[in-house]
Chain A
């Protein structure tokens, strides 16, 4: 029961959606639409699950005074503050009926001046780590690595005016050797070829995995029996 019903659900839903592609008429077309709608709704419950789990983890940390437990209070205060601002639409110019992210609302202000700086800065750190990795880790140890670095160099130079300045003397029939032109060619030809090969390989993997999931051969998403 605990494993049979989920396997049956996966099979029925997957099979109906595939059939809906080939038989768009009733009832499969309608089922296809309905299942997509249900999927969209359940996705929101996944957000609620994430929030609930966050509360559970951090409340437990505070109760048991685990390492860095004061910071868990920061997490909970931030969570509850943002939640109140959003669910109650505090300060929303259009009141409870307005767009939750309306300009001037507390929710939008928290998004602009707390969420955005934090998230953007987290990712901006990566620029520094890319620089550090370039200096310490990227070594042309063999032919393959050298090809990779040469391609990267052409792209990096080609995407700046320095690439054009360096090779502006190459004109006429040699103009294809100008670095920006080389960079465009690398992107549009060998990069395209490699990415396409990877894409086809991934597609075959997705197709086979989807079939395995629908037919119940792949069951790892159900976890262990004692869960």
Chain B
């Protein structure tokens, strides 16, 4: 029954349909493409290609700081980016310095090392080619301190070994000694803080892999303050595409970003149809009510 005590029309019933039916549509739109195993390649956009090209042109032994500033909530979007960039940096034979300014990022650093870096690059030696520095609290205060004196905060690595025992840490005094900083994450603290407290004051190149929610907010920093931005799962898929184009062997690997894209595409279409359908019902109902009130005012 509607407000006048009359039976609800079909349009009214459809407009106020039980939201659990909508939830079911979303679930089916997400699950079906996964079950069919469909993946999608994505053309690389300039904002992603810039970061790819920067890393591609890094000379061997360049020092790349990777900051894992995300958690399980955003891992589906960001982990594929982290994997792709770690692979790319290792292909370029750069030195990888991994840290986290989010506590949850520390566990994800460990799993990236165990599941991606170690199996695919067995020649990479801990302490000479890559290092896990671990998590430190302090948000932007931490970045400010690292900018002046890196080892004041990081006196050991994540396993408790004295930092000066590692050959790759000998020349590190502060953040200005790095050739590139890449921050994975979109919340606070994240890419913005790396730009504000490291990139801009020290003229250090900063790149970012962020959630799709954060990506639009970071566009003002591109290209003068950010080398490039990978925005969401699409950004991850684009970087993977660039990686496969340059290093075709990765074409045979399962890529996390690309595996999400078909479900993304179908879900986007479903959401757009919901918006169109919902608006159509709204305008039909509005027209009906105008007719009922004799045209209204």
Binding site for B on A (CB under 8 A): 29, 32-33, 36-37, 39-41, 43-44, 47, 94, 97-99, 101-103, 108, 111-112, 115-117, 119-120, 122-123, 127-128, 130-132, 134-136, 138-140, 149, 152-153, 156-157, 159-162, 180, 184, 187-188, 191-192, 195-196, 199
Give 25 CB contacts A-B under 8 Å.
Answer: A32-B144, A33-B149, A40-B136, A40-B141, A40-B142, A41-B137, A98-B159, A99-B134, A99-B158, A108-B107, A115-B72, A127-B26, A128-B22, A134-B271, A134-B275, A136-B278, A138-B278, A138-B279, A139-B279, A149-B275, A157-B268, A184-B46, A187-B216, A187-B219, A192-B219
B217 located at the interface, meaning its Cβ lies under 8 Å from any Cβ of chain A in the complex: yes
A159 contacts B274, C-beta separation under 8 Å: no
- What's the Cα separation between A191 and B265 when bound, in Å? 22
Q: Which one of A47, A134, A135, A161 lies within 8 Å of B40 (CB-CB)?
A: A161
Looking at the assembled complex, report how far the CB atom of A172 sits from the nearest CB atom of chain B, in whole angstroms.
18
Looking at the assembled complex, report how far the CB atom of B65 sits from the nearest CB atom of chain A, in whole angstroms.
18
Once A33-B152, A132-B19 are accepted as A-B contacts, the answer to whether A139 and B269 lie under 8 Å apart by CB is no
B145 contacts A36, C-beta separation under 8 Å: yes
A188 contacts B219, C-beta separation under 8 Å: yes
- What's the Cα separation between A44 and B141 when bound, in Å? 12
- What's the Cα separation between A111 and B22 when bound, in Å? 32
Q: Which A residues touch B19, using CB under 8 A? A: 132, 136
- Mask of B125-162 contacts with A, CB within 8 angstroms, 1/0: 00000001010111101101100110011000011100
A116 contacts B278, C-beta separation under 8 Å: no
Closest to A138 in B: B275
* Interface SS, A side: helix
Q: Which B residues touch A103, using CB under 8 A? A: 110-111, 114
* Interface SS, B side: helix
Top 6 nearest A-B pairs by Cβ distance? A40-B138, A160-B265, A39-B141, A116-B72, A135-B274, A36-B145
B9 located at the interface, meaning its Cβ lies under 8 Å from any Cβ of chain A in the complex: no
B220 contacts A132, C-beta separation under 8 Å: no
Name 4 extra pairs, CB < 8 A, besides A149-B279, A160-B269. A47-B137, A131-B23, A138-B279, A139-B282
- What's the Cα separation between A157 and B75 when bound, in Å? 24
- What's the Cα separation between A152 and B72 when bound, in Å? 27
Of A128, A130, A134, A157, most B-chain CB atoms within 10 Å: A134
Q: Which B residues touch A117, using CB under 8 A? A: 72
- What's the Cα separation between A113 and B234 when bound, in Å? 27
